[in-house]
Amino acid sequence: MVSRLLTRALVIAVAAVAAAAAPATAVAAPAIGGISAHPVTLDGRALPDDTAFIAVERPAPSQFTTSIEVSNASDRAIPVRIAAVDTTTSENGGTAFLATDSPRSGAGAWISPGRQALTLGADSTTRLDFKVRVPVGAEPGDHVGGIVIEPVRRVRLDSTADITRIVRVAMAVQVTVPGKASREVGVSRLRFTRDEAGGPPTVSVQLANTGARLCRPALTATFSTDGRVRTSERRRVDTLLPDTAVDYALRWSRKVPDGTYDLQVRTEGCGAPSAVHENLTIDTAGNVRVASATPALEPRVTGRSDTIQLIGLGAVLFAAAATGWSLARRRPRRSAR
């Protein structure tokens, strides 16, 4: 059965980035800049009107076709480019769409747009066709690529710095290859950061999805003394894509008193539970001394794909209204081409 963890993957992002670089992340939002899109057919069959993204189960090798409708509600024509991209996981969980000029090594390489560029007429709707080829040797599990439509012209926000605004419409294409595929999320590299202003601390861990399925782990962190839990927090993390690892920050809801603690973070709900802990002491001034360090847990991949560095001359602006999965660092998905 096709996973529905990507319940809202139609994405429109507005970002201001240095040197006119396309953003590495995106979030779900209403139509921005007059452009919107939704899928309309799969293998020639009409899709329900409320379909937000493409989700299919297909064996390897195989292929299918899909089409989307792109609308321009503005009163001017907009030249756009169409591209297929890879995806990754944001640091808080959820799906990110990589830049259109990033190398494709995952499911983004399976997607072929029928057109690479066109001009959307004012107040018009255009249908775009795509072919998706699942290659020989594609491993069982969930594979997510993306379709991105972005204007050719970028808006300069600041005449004194090389900062531009980019409007992107992106749609996920999720292909589940049938077969034995595990859910496996591990936790490692625990860090404790105190608030300089004396507020609640932040507990950070590395979460690595080393399995082949999309998964949303439950994360529980506890401060214990002599085996007794003194304070704890629980979070449900957004979707982690296969073969990705992120540094997840859990901000405590209240101040942790001074003392010596065993700090443990545990994940559940994605395969076997995984836990990591550190012994630390918090003094009356809020300073922290850690007695042990925890190593990183790496996904089983052989390389890492670079994402766009959002570096500004001063500040980098992100503006986006999130209504679904938000979409940072990525390790490429094991897939044949």
Peptide bond between residue 201 and the one before it cis (omega within 30 degrees of 0): no
Instruction: For domain 185-290, give the CATH number.
Output: 2.60.40.10
Residues 92-123 as b or e (16 or more Cβ within 10 Å = b): bbbbbbbbbebebbbbbbbbebeeeeeebeee
What is the CATH T-level fold of the domain 10-180+304-319, as seen in this structure?
Answer: Immunoglobulin-like (2.60.40)
Task: Give me the residue label for tokens 């059965």.
Answer: 1
pLDDT at 328 over 60: no
pLDDT 10s digits, 300-310: 432 333 333 22
Record the pTM.
0.76
Render pLDDT for 148-162 as a digit per residue (tens, 0 to 9).
Answer: 999 987 665 556 666
**What is the spatial distance between Cα 34 and Cα 75, in angstroms, rounded to a whole number?**
9
Alpha-carbon distance 94 to 241, whole Å?
A: 8
Quick check: do 10-180+304-319 and 185-290 share a fold? yes
> Tokens in use for 44?
């020639």
What pLDDT, in 10s, does the model give residues 239-295? 999 999 999 999 999 888 889 999 999 999 999 999 999 999 988 877 788 876 555
- Segments making up each domain of the chain, as ranges: 10-180+304-319, 185-290
Q: Kindly calculate the radius of gyration of the chain based on its CA atoms and give it in whole angstroms.
A: 22
Residues in the chain: 337
Which residues, in sequence order, are CB contacts of 260 under 8 Å at separation 6+?
A: 225, 279, 280, 281, 282
Average pLDDT estimate for 54-67: 98
Strand 54-57 relative to strand 163-177: parallel, antiparallel, unpaired?
Answer: parallel
At residue 83, φ and ψ (nearest 5 deg) are: -150, 155
